[in-house]
Chains A and B, each alone.
Chain A
Amino acid sequence: MKHLYTKPSKGEQLNKLNPKKETIQFLLNYSKALHITKHRQLSFEFILN
């Protein structure tokens, strides 16, 4: 019987999903490039390459 249960269930498969490496890399680069400056009550966003 054991071999009948070796295939992971759909729920287990769902829990092992990861985003693409490119997506993670994009987010880390975006974070590094984003600068927010506050002047009085306004905040200015800059994306610096």
Chain B
Amino acid sequence: MNYIKATDAALVQEYIQGNERALSTLINRHQQRIYSFIYSKVFDKDVSDDVFQDTFIKVINTLKKGKYNEEGKFLPWVMRIAHNLVIDHFRKNKRMPKFENHGDFNIFSVLSDGDLNIEKQIIKDQIESDVQELIKELPEDQLEVLTMRIYKDMSFKEISELTGVSINTALGRMRYALINLRKLIEKHNLILTN
């Protein structure tokens, strides 16, 4: 078999049948594109290497388990795995933000007492009052669901029982309430951030 000229699909079949050289060819053929894609998202070579490695571990496991069924679409499939792992990486970092020390360490830059200062409290009050005014512009059915969910902390099951609509309808109304709120925010040129 001419590995250089072989298609991805042919190499995948070779690899599934136990030919390890086929995997080496596939990695060599696509490594630059996949690695560059990962790096363009994470901008860190070590993280990119980790994500690249995890991507191909998934590829190897799936192929060896015989679960691969996207013949002819090897690269888009690998890219999708890499994309999902990049998202996982950012989710993990969001849950556990790492502290980066830049020379002059100041403990107060990472610790806070948790209470809002007067300025932040005023901004928070202003945002809340703006949101309350915006909510009043929503259609009645959406206003009802949103108020129950956000301000009364009710579950969608409780909302559906109380309003006499199905859970899906309640979810739909909540979704449209949020979409409409975003539109109202844009319409009024409001900036609701602290």
| A17 pairs with B53, CB closer than 8 A | no
A30 and B20 alpha carbons, distance in the complex (Å): 11
Q: Is B64 an interface residue (CB 8 A)?
A: yes
| A27 pairs with B53, CB closer than 8 A | yes
Tally of A-B residue pairs with Cβ under 8 A?
Answer: 57
| B31 pairs with A19, CB closer than 8 A | yes
Q: Which of B33-41, B120-128, B138-146, B170-178 lies at the binding interface? A: B33-41
Q: Is B147 an interface residue (CB 8 A)?
A: no
Task: Please tell me which one of the listed residues B20, B48, B64, B65 contacts residue A19 in the complex, with CB atoms under 8 A apart.
Answer: B48
Majority DSSP secondary structure for residues of A touching B: mixed
Among residues 16 to 43 in chain A, which have CB atoms less than 8 Å away from a CB atom of chain B?
A: 16-20, 23-24, 26-28, 30-32, 34-36, 43
| A15 pairs with B36, CB closer than 8 A | yes
| B20 pairs with A32, CB closer than 8 A | yes
Task: Please tell me which one of the listed residues A15, A26, A28, A43 contacts residue B23 in the complex, with CB atoms under 8 A apart.
Answer: A28
| B32 pairs with A31, CB closer than 8 A | no
Q: Is A14 an interface residue (CB 8 A)?
A: yes
Take A27-B57, A28-B20 as given contacts and tell me if A36 and B64 are in contact as well, using a CB distance cutoff of 8 Å.
yes
| A20 pairs with B49, CB closer than 8 A | yes
Chain A residues with CB below 8 A from B28, complex form: 24
Number of interface residues, chain A, beta carbon within 8 A? 20
Number of interface residues, chain B, beta carbon within 8 A? 23
| B60 pairs with A27, CB closer than 8 A | yes
Closest to B43 in A: A14
| A23 pairs with B36, CB closer than 8 A | no
**Min CB distance, B69 to chain A, in Å?**
16
Chain B residues with CB below 8 A from A16, complex form: 32, 36
Chain A residues with CB below 8 A from B61, complex form: 34, 36, 45
Q: Is B24 an interface residue (CB 8 A)?
A: yes
**Min CB distance, A44 to chain B, in Å?**
11
Please list 12 pairs of residues, one from A and one from B, whose beta carbons are closer than 8 Å in the complex, sorted by A's number: A14-B39, A15-B32, A16-B32, A17-B48, A20-B49, A23-B52, A27-B57, A28-B20, A28-B24, A30-B57, A31-B64, A35-B64
Known: A32-B20, A34-B64. 4 other contacts (CB 8 A): A14-B39, A14-B40, A19-B35, A34-B60
Interface residues of A (CB under 8 A from B): 14-20, 23-24, 26-28, 30-32, 34-36, 43, 45
